[in-house]
């Protein structure tokens, strides 16, 4: 049971946190919305919540609520470049379908 | 799949609802686009990894525009159709461009703004700027993977209403939703996070490719006020290149350079300048088309000596800006360097020496303005909690309208924070006046002739009333971009007229500086002129009212001697009105008032008698 970060993702997150000047880590989550049922959330964390599960990957603290973890278990978060665009990508083994744009999915 | 960015806590966007916002630095020489991704502002690069887009547009045979480096490279082959530094023409008429003859363009004079004749047809500066903005928009959409919510575009602090409006029009033409226009120095200050301080006074030293701007900003309670601006619109990095170029030509004893060789040496000069920001000397080698070999070593010391006077030229306007602001170097809490030319070591050290403090330099001076604009855009698009900062800009010169006698009544004072709405009530001057001409002006002086005329419009359909009975509320509204709309509303009848002020042409930066300076030096003279005009208006009104009364019932109520006294007093006033002595006019008006006091009392009695005549007491009491 774990969430992992790729080296490039961890590197980026550390850089962003440093530039932001505050924050203790990264929060991953899932919420129900979007065209295929569920969508990922990706936010900075300024404070932990009581139920948070915490993972440590490549020196970055990753927080996730238990409910989201059931949909995200085994996910690797990667940072990629596609042409001029760059950003984070969820490699989630639980996903069955995604919508055309990939912004939402179901399991 | 779509790529995600890290959001601020609790601000994660729904799928397909990303609020993509960008900041654009639309520069005279180069333009940039930046955005905030995962909480950090960064400049967006093109496919070749270049951040700077030369602000050059070349129109092709088929009418399509070529923008940026490719256009810049063809500039000397195709000068008529390759437009550089179009920003200088934004919102300007042909007569505002002093060096029109020195440019290769075929200008077409047009009402409002000049036009440029190219092989793709006649283009306005707004269209040329829109082509630059379209390129940046395309780059941003490719990089962000979606449609933009909007952009913040920066403009020089001294840009007037016409130039701001032209910039906004260009953005609209490029399909960009403008969230706000932001002053360049203010954007630089935001990029350095100076707005996080509670207060302070900052100096923004901006030496670009071809222009030099100095701005002094005062921050208090989240408001950046532009206290003073100055600069030199013909001083920049290009002048430094030119010095090195001339040095090479002199040292190598070359005569009769071909255009191609001149271009080659100029580009080597530029490279040498860039090399000297790091190294103490650099070697310049080239083989000219004539076969002549050029091989010179330029030391940093020589370079500094060659360009020492250019540095001095930046300090003059800097000193002047401080003086205008009434500040000394000790009052400055921070100095920000903007523009690629501030990378030169001797520029930095001269600034440090002048201000007796190290300037802020840790951000890339080419990118500072775009980064600040991106941060502002990110906040305006709702991706950032706005309680952190709410940044406001101010209006650079007072806005007002003309009143009787050619006086300016200020409605919105200079340095009012934007957006702002102010209303003032005006009335009619003559009996039965049914229309009012509203003349909108910008400037600090008291008389209309000394201020800049922005627009005129008319309010018609005022019901006929005696002079002074109509209540006309004139409302000035300046939006967050510094653009003005004026409306007039007659309160009793409800007639209304509105104008969006799109002034015919703009004010130059020197002109704004001059107007401000003038308002101080002429304050005394202006007050006297205002007094004179006011007394004249009052005197004229008195003469007209007296004449009307005399015509009506003077023959009934006045003896011949009384009539002569009044006529004489009127004649004295008439003579005085043509003079320049406002005290004498006042005296003559007062004596006419005294001479007519008896007459006025009799008229009052007579009108009461007329009102009561033939009526029963009960009827009056009822």
ipTM entry: 0.81
Angle subtended at Cα B15 by Cα B12 and Cα B19, rounded to the nearest 5 degrees: 60
- Spell out the long-range contacts of B587-591 with Cβ–Cβ below 8 A and sequence spacing 24 or more: B588/B539, B589/B535, B589/B538, B589/B539, B589/B542
The C-alpha of B378 sits at a distance from chain A's nearest C-alpha, in angstroms, of: 14
Minimum Cα–Cα distance from A45: chain B residue: B9
Q: Among candidates B397, B393, B419, B39, which has minimal Cα distance to B222?
A: B393
pLDDT at residue B83, as a whole number: 92
CATH number at residue B552: 1.20.1270.10
pLDDT at residue B509, as a whole number: 53
Residues B47 and B125 grouped into a single domain: yes
Residues B287 and B352 grouped into a single domain: yes
- To 10 degrees, what angle do helices B308-325 and B237-252 make? 160
CATH number at residue B77: 3.30.420.40
pLDDT at residue B102, as a whole number: 74
Of A26, A80, A90, the CB nearest to B6: A26
CB contact under 8 A, B6 and A98: no
| Dihedral pair phi/psi, residue B337, rounded to 5° | -100, 130
Residues B281 and B371 grouped into a single domain: no
The two structure tokens encoding residue B277: 């920001």
Would you call the peptide bond into B279 cis, given omega within 30 degrees of 0 as the criterion? Answer: no
DSSP state of B4: B
Q: Domain A4-106, what fold?
A: Hypothetical Protein Aq_1857; Chain: A; (2.60.300)
State how far the Cα of B268 lies from the Cα of B280, in Å rounded to an integer.
17
**Using an 8 Å Cβ cutoff, are B468 and B433 in contact?**
no
Q: Among candidates A72, A76, A63, which has minimal Cα distance to A94?
A: A72
- Sheet strands (E) in B387-495: 399-403, 407-412, 420-426, 435-442, 452-460, 472-478, 484-490
> Is B49 an 8 Å CB contact of chain A?
no
Q: Among candidates B279, B268, B231, which has minimal Cα distance to B246?
A: B268
Minimum Cα–Cα distance from A48: chain B residue: B9
With respect to residue B496, please indicate whether it lies within any of the assigned structural domains.
yes
DSSP string, A59-70: TEEEEE-HHHHH
The two structure tokens encoding residue B439: 């003349």
With respect to residue B394, please indicate whether it lies within any of the assigned structural domains.
no
CB contact under 8 A, B40 and A83: no
With respect to residue B621, please indicate whether it lies within any of the assigned structural domains.
no
Residue B540's domain spans which residues? Answer: 524-612
Residues B177 and B61 grouped into a single domain: yes
How many other CB atoms sit within 10 Å of the CB of residue B618? 7
Q: How many CA atoms lie within 13 A of B1 on its CB side?
A: 21
Residues B50 and B170 grouped into a single domain: yes
**Using an 8 Å Cβ cutoff, are A62 and A6 in contact?**
no
User: DSSP H helical segments within B484-578, as ranges?
Assistant: 509-521, 523-549, 555-557, 560-578
CB contact under 8 A, B142 and A104: no
Q: Which residues pair with B577 in a beta bridge?
A: none
The C-alpha of B212 sits at a distance from chain A's nearest C-alpha, in angstroms, of: 30
Binned average pLDDT, 10 residues per bin, chain B of 622 residues: 76 68 94 90 92 94 91 86 90 78 82 86 92 95 87 89 87 90 91 81 92 89 80 89 93 82 88 93 90 91 95 93 90 94 95 94 94 91 61 72 85 78 85 87 82 83 84 86 82 78 50 61 73 84 86 82 88 87 87 86 82 68 56
User: DSSP H helical segments within B559-596, as ranges?
Assistant: 560-578, 582-595
State how far the Cα of B33 lies from the Cα of B36, in Å rounded to an integer.
11
Residues B242 and B288 grouped into a single domain: yes
Minimum Cα–Cα distance from A20: chain B residue: B39
Which helix H or strand E contains B617, and what residues bound it? helix B617-621
Number of structural domains (chain B) is: 4
> Is B121 an 8 Å CB contact of chain A?
no
Q: Tell me what the mean pLDDT of segment A35-60 comes to.
A: 83
Residues B241 and B353 grouped into a single domain: yes
State how far the Cα of B174 lies from the Cα of B26, in Å rounded to an integer.
13
Q: How far is CA B514 from the centre of its chain?
A: 13
For residue range A32-47, what is the model confidence (pLDDT) as tens digits?
Answer: 765 556 788 888 998 8
| Domain boundaries along the sequence of chain A | 4-106
The C-alpha of B225 sits at a distance from chain A's nearest C-alpha, in angstroms, of: 27
State how far the Cα of B398 lies from the Cα of B408, in Å rounded to an integer.
10
Residues B378 and B409 grouped into a single domain: no
pLDDT at residue B505, as a whole number: 40
Active site residues of B: 25, 87, 184, 206
pLDDT at residue B506, as a whole number: 46
With respect to residue B350, please indicate whether it lies within any of the assigned structural domains.
yes
């Amino acid at each position: 049971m774990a969430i992992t970060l790729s080296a490039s993702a961890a590197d980026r997150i550390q850089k962003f946190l440093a530039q932001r000047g505050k924050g203790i880590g990264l929060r991953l989550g899932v919420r129900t919305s979007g065209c295929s049922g569920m969508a990922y959330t990706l936010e900075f964390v300024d404070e932990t919540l009581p139920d948070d599960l915490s993972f440590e990957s490549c020196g970055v603290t990753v927080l996730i609520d238990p409910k989201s973890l059931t949909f995200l278990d085994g996910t690797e978060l990667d940072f990629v470049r596609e042409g001029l665009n760059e950003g984070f990508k969820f490699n989630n083994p639980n996903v069955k379908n995604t919508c055309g744009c990939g912004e939402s999915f179901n399991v | 799949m779509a790529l995600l960015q890290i959001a601020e806590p609790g601000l994660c966007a729904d799928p397909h609802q990303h609020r993509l916002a960008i900041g654009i630095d639309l520069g005279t020489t180069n333009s940039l686009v930046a955005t905030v991704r995962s909480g950090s502002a960064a400049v967006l690069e093109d496919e070749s990894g270049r951040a700077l887009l030369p602000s050059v547009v070349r129109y092709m045979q088929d009418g399509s525009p070529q923008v940026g480096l490719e256009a810049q490279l063809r500039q000397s082959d195709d000068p008529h159709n390759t437009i550089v530094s179009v920003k200088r023409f934004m919102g300007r008429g042909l007569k505002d461009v002093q060096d029109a003859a020195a440019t290769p363009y075929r200008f077409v004079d047009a009402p409002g703004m000049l036009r440029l004749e190219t092989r793709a047809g006649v283009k306005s500066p707004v269209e040329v700027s829109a082509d630059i903005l379209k390129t940046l928009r395309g780059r941003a959409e490719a990089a962000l993977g979606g449609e933009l919510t909007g952009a913040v575009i920066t403009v020089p602090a001294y840009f007037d209403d016409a130039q701001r409006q032209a910039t906004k029009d260009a953005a609209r033409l490029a399909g960009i939703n403008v969230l706000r226009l932001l002053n360049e120095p203010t954007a630089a200050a935001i990029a350095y996070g100076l707005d996080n301080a509670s207060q302070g006074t900052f100096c923004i030293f901006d030496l670009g490719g071809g222009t030099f701007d100095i701005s002094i900003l005062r921050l208090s309670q989240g408001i950046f006020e532009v206290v003073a601006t100055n600069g030199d619109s013909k001083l920049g990095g290009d002048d430094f290149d030119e010095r090195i170029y001339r040095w090479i030509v002199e040292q190598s004893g070359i005569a009769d350079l071909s255009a191609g060789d001149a271009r080659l040496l100029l580009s080597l000069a530029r490279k040498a300048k860039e090399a000297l920001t790091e190294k103490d000397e650099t070697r310049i080698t080239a083989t000219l088309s004539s076969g002549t070999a050029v091989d010179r070593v330029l030391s940093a010391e020589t370079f500094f000596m060659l360009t020492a006077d250019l540095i001095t030229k930046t300090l003059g306007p800097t000193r002047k800006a401080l003086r205008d602001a009434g500040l000394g170097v000790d009052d400055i809490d921070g100095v920000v360097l903007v523009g690629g030319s501030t990378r030169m070591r001797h520029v930095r050290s001269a600034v440090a020496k002048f201000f007796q403090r190290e300037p802020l330099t840790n951000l890339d001076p080419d990118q500072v303005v775009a980064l600040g604009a991106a941060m502002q855009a990110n906040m305006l698009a709702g991706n950032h909690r706005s309680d952190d900062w709410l940044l406001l800009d101010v209006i650079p010169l007072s806005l007002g309208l003309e009143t009787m006698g050619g006086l300016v009544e200020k409605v919105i004072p200079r340095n009012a924070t934007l957006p702002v709405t102010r209303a003032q009530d005006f009335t009619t001057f003559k009996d039965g006046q049914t229309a009012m001409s509203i003349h909108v002006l910008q400037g600090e002086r008291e008389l209309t002739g000394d201020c800049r005329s922005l627009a005129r419009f008319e309010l018609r359909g005022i019901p006929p009333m005696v002079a002074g009975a109509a209540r006309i509320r004139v409302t000035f509204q300046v939006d967050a971009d510094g653009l003005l709309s004026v409306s007039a509303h007659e309160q009793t009848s409800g007639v209304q007229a509105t104008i969006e002020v799109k002034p015919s042409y703009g004010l130059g930066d020197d002109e704004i500086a001059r107007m401000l300076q003038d308002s101080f030096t002429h304050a005394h003279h202006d007050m006297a002129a205002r007094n004179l005009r006011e007394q004249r208006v009052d005197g004229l009104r008195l003469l007209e009212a007296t004449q009307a009364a005399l015509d009506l019932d003077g023959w009934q109520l006045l003896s011949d001697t009384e009539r002569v006294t009044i006529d004489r007093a009127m004649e004295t006033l008439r003579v005085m009105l043509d003079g320049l002595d406002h005290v004498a006019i006042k005296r003559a008006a007062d004596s006419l008032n005294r001479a007519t006091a008896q007459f006025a009392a009799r008229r009052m009695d007579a009108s009461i008698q007329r009102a009561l005549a033939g009526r029963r007491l009960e009827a009056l009491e009822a």
